[in-house]
Chains A and B, each alone.
Chain A
Amino acid sequence: MSESTQTKEEWVPKGDLQEVKDPEWLFHEAPRETEFITGSEAAREAIRRANVDIAISYPITPQSETMQQAGYLYDEGYIKEYYRAEEEIGVMSALGGASRAGVRSLTATSGPGLMRGMEAISSWPGARTPLVLMNMCRVINTPLAIQPDNIEISFLLNTGILHAHAENQQDFFDYSLAAFMVSEQVDVTLPAVVSVDGFFVTHARGQVSMFSQDYKLPPRDGWRSAVPAMDNENPPARLSRDAPIQKSNFISYHMHASWQQEVFAAVERSAKYWRKYIGDLIEVINPDAEEFIVSSGACVSQAREAVRQEGEKGREVGLIKIKTIRPWPKAELFAALKNAKRIFVPEFNQAGWLHKELCSTLYGQIKADIIPGPRVYGGMTMPTEMVLEWLAKYRK
């Protein structure tokens, strides 16, 4: 057990020694050093630099390590407030409360924890609560398992939550930091989830290049927001953002409809900020190919290897990595795939949510065959051979 430093009189929170820097400079220009670390460690390093005010934790595999590390960061003074809550619906509700007060708020969870917190999570966007949830994907029970499987992402698609899907440790570091910045933009003011595939990324090592830990993001400014913080710092009025529909039934219908429209419009508006911090919303390899693999998350890495091996054999296969699930990069996908003849959508889940999203975007727009697979789930890995076999099978 590490000895707490909190009680020492000379204690200076380490976060106070960090220098606030312009996020664009941090993301694109600051000198970086590369370390060979796990996804959970990349998460910790992102949190260290994110100027987090409050982190609320609850353990679940494969996430636990991240929020434990957040605890140590709190102990060192990189995070100002931290506690282990009663369970996930308590975590997600409390996080909504903290964000409403105008402070930068963080938690992390996995599969079943996400499901348990879902009622609270799905009401974050309507409450206009900027915050970040790191989500380490895991099988949703039953039968009980702790293995990677990203079916849970499908439950978040229509909530109005911003959602980035990290391929590897590097993405997890970059996207998480970007998520704080994007979610807190005035014309966004929405929660953000950064998902990563459990174990494959969280517990495996990869190269992560990071700007110095002497720097941190600017703090959240509770005054800058699409809706006032619930801090009682505004002149009183018989209207509070959380309960406008209490006023009358007539207001209720119109208010609710327009409130929802505005949430989803804000998701679209967030695209420009994501681009500012993490570049294009999709990455395209071999743009002139006729055969494409479209994927997100860790699955992209296997697809990359398949594309490389095909290239060695002289066959050009295109690859599209989708970085943000929400905002959904509809225009980019359409432009990149307009001449495709065959599209494969490898996924780490049984439902094929990415395939469905893609089909609804491209329906009636292009002539390509959009093939539902290959897919693995329940914790299986996807060997590159499997992707290659599917490519070969459909060429026949």
Chain B
Amino acid sequence: MSLETVRPSPGFEELLPIEYRDLVKHGQYGRDVKVSEIGKFKELVEEHPMCAGCAMTLFIRLAMMALPNPEHTINVGTAGCGRLAISQANIPFIYGNYGDTNSVASGLKRALKLRFPNQVKDVVVMAGDGGLIDIGFQGLMHSWFRQEKFTTIMLDNEVYGNTGGQESGMTLKGQILKMAPRGKEVDKIDAMGLAKVAGCAYIARIAPTNPSRVMRTIRRAVLIAREVGPTYIQAYTSCNIEYAIPTPDVMQDAFDVEKERYGFEEIMTDEAKAYITEIEKKQKELAKANAKK
């Protein structure tokens, strides 16, 4: 889809719903938006049926705003809370079977490359911790080992939220949850370490405390996946329902957890570093030039 596809033909514009016209006129197509612009442009996802105050929804909202090329992006998700919001976005969304995301994305990305050799199509997997590290484990690992060029974002709420609060591989040891009546017996899986071993080009751990940093991280991951190799973001997106976090305290929890054990961490290969530095340098120069105009 080019921007021309988004734009209605003259004469048809007034026939389209206002929602659509706003998306074309005031959307994020063709430019990078900043956090400070929230409320001043038409976002790709504006509504969702997830729990009030859920940190995951904030993260997904930022993720959509961060996509470097939404008109050429396909989101891949699976069963789990996040898909309830991701499916509402103005981005094609593949809602597969539980845990199949990274296998589906492998086939999809390769096929898109065959069909559109001259147009990069970004594929972004966004799925829960259970969906990726438990049921989707081998698909996840093998997509990394195969160096599949797409981004995987783990919405890590450290629980199976959508099925009502069971322990997952990403739950902390000792945590009492459904199906862990005596507390989880084993450690939280070191998915960051696995990503490193499996050869991801870019790996980041993040909590949604700093929206600009979230957006920069996602942009980097998507851009690096285009050219260099698989990228992985692990995002703390607390489940206020299952962890009984009062809605007003959700952000405080994110700050606390970040400080305690979920600090921002970014790891990339030399190749990825060189590639992204070059891109960001050019972007800065462009921004400066535009500011002068």
Contacts and interface: CB of A to CB of B under 8 A. Distances in A.
Interface of A: 53-54, 56, 80-81, 83, 85-87, 89-91, 93-103, 105, 119-120, 123, 222, 230-238, 240, 242-243, 246-248
B1 A235 contact: yes
Nearest to A119: B97
B104 A97 contact: yes
Contacts of B157: none
A99 to B, nearest CB: 8
Contacts of B104: 93-94, 96-97, 100
B105 A246 contact: no
Given A86-B103, A94-B103, A100 B142 contact: no
A107 B92 CA distance: 25
A120 B97 CA distance: 7
A231 B116 contact: yes
A85 B141 CA distance: 12
A86 B141 CA distance: 9
Given A96-B104, A97-B104, A243-B87, A54 B97 contact: no
A90 B139 contact: yes
- Chain B interface mostly helix, strand, loop or mixed? helix
Q: How large is the interface on B (under 10, 10 to 19, 20 to 34, 35 or more residues)?
A: 35 or more
16 contacts: A96-B96, A96-B100, A97-B103, A97-B104, A98-B111, A101-B114, A222-B115, A230-B92, A230-B108, A231-B121, A233-B1, A235-B6, A235-B8, A240-B87, A240-B95, A246-B84
A231 B114 contact: no
B100 A120 contact: yes
B34 interface: no
B193 to A, nearest CB: 20
Contact of B71 (A80, A101, A232, A242): A232
Contact of B1 (A94, A95, A232, A238): A232
A86 B138 contact: yes
Contacts of B73: 232
Interface string B104-144: 11111111111110000100000000000000001101100
Nearest to B105: A97
- Chain A interface mostly helix, strand, loop or mixed? loop
Interface of B: 1, 5-6, 8, 19-20, 23, 49, 71-74, 76, 83-84, 87-97, 100, 103-116, 121, 138-139, 141-142, 146
Given A120-B103, A231-B121, A232-B121, 5 more contacts: A90-B142, A93-B107, A101-B107, A230-B74, A236-B1
Contacts of B6: 235-236
A75 B105 CA distance: 23
Given A96-B107, A101-B111, A238 B88 contact: yes
A339 B72 CA distance: 60
B65 to A, nearest CB: 15
A80 B114 contact: yes
Contacts of B94: 97, 100, 230, 240, 242
Contacts of B142: 85-86, 90
A192 B228 CA distance: 36
